[in-house]
Amino acid sequence: MRVLRAAAVVTLALALAWACGDDLSITTDTIAPARITDLAVSAVTETSVTLIWSATGDNDDVGRAGAYVLKHFGTTITESNFAAATTVPGLPAPQDAGLAESFAVIGLDSTLLYYFAIRADDEDGNQSLVSNNAIWVPSGTPLHWVKTIPPARDNSMFEEGDYSNGKGEYIFAGATAGNSGVGFRRALLYFAVADSLPAGATVDSVRLTLHMSKTIAGSKTVSLHTLATDWGEGNSDAGGPEGGGDFAQTGDVTWRHRFFDTTTWSAPGGDFVAGAVASKSVVSIGFYTWKSAGMAAGVQSWLDSPATNFGWILIGDEATMTTAKRFDSRENPVAANRPRLTIYYTTGP
């Protein structure tokens, strides 16, 4: 009797909702997680491999996926043979989209070649496309690696004069109101590539990731250019929002000086290659990544000829005013927000 009464109550509630014009349709999630594109090997032993990748989302690259399916096979894994490949057990639950994931696969046969690929599923049964392949190979075969390094130096130049921000928490690119009116800001970054990668390695691709933490401008293009001469990071530290810079200290880079106050640029604002190696539209607060074949070629040349490595200069929109973007520097107290260069490379015969 109680069941009949409960059913009657539910029926009455539905009828009233329909009469009131409420939408009673049931929505279904049809958006699959985004494909993982950066599966890579980060460490190996004779019988194990550690794989790393960036977490994807529940709906494309937003949210958190429901589960991962990792497979290995003796040849390249594709959509057509993913189901036939061997499943690797024990993967952890996915993290929020964009976070770094890792997993160690153990018990491998050191005489075999292993191809790995991963797929993300959501809780409604939607499946991402199969990822790129990462390869674990027997001894004597080329190995594919990935390494993320922080900048060894970073700084900002301020057009209005001999200002710098060597030890500041932020770097700047674009145009803003400064110490004596409107002025340009340019950020510089140097990564010690030859100290981080083995000699003779082949650079396959690179990614520069920065965290933009403050702006009053909308979408602005920020371009990366290769520097042609060396520059310095001294002890200047503007403090506060840091947008106006600090008086340059010995060895600081400024708009006029490569090293304050002894060595100048050939032209104020820096000596750099005019053509950008990469550009990115930067809008609101968040992480942004620059990547291109030109960047990879540049990093390869820095590895092969370390004396030619002077880093990159970051140039924002200087055609109009109040376009500046503030990025977190290597001295920023939030470690996750500091600049990083991720290098994918190959070693071996």
Q: pLDDT tens across 138-147, in order?
A: 666 677 788 9
Stretches where the chain sits below pLDDT 50 are 1-19, 24-25
Q: Residue 135: exposed, middle, or buried by beta-carbon count in 10 A (0-12, 13-18, 19+)?
A: middle
- CA triple 108-111-115, angle to 5 deg: 60
Q: Residue 219: exposed, middle, or buried by beta-carbon count in 10 A (0-12, 13-18, 19+)?
A: exposed
Does the global pTM surpass 0.75?
A: no
Q: What is the pLDDT of residue 45?
A: 84
Rounded distance between C-alpha atoms, residue 98 and residue 62, angstroms:
9
Q: What is the pLDDT of residue 288?
A: 97
Rounded distance between C-alpha atoms, residue 317 and residue 279, angstroms:
11
Q: What is the pLDDT of residue 178?
A: 56
Residue type, 72: H
Tell me: the pLDDT tens digits for 256-299? 999 999 999 999 999 999 999 999 999 999 999 999 999 999 99
Q: What is the pLDDT of residue 326?
A: 98
Strands 67-73 and 114-121: antiparallel
Residue 97 DSSP one-character state = T
Q: What is the pLDDT of residue 28?
A: 76
Rounded distance between C-alpha atoms, residue 229 and residue 226, angstroms:
9
What SS3 class is residue 219?
coil
Contact indicator for 55, 98 with CB cutoff of 8 Å: yes
Residue 81 to residues 38, 130, 267, 302, Cα–Cα distance (Å): 20, 10, 57, 40
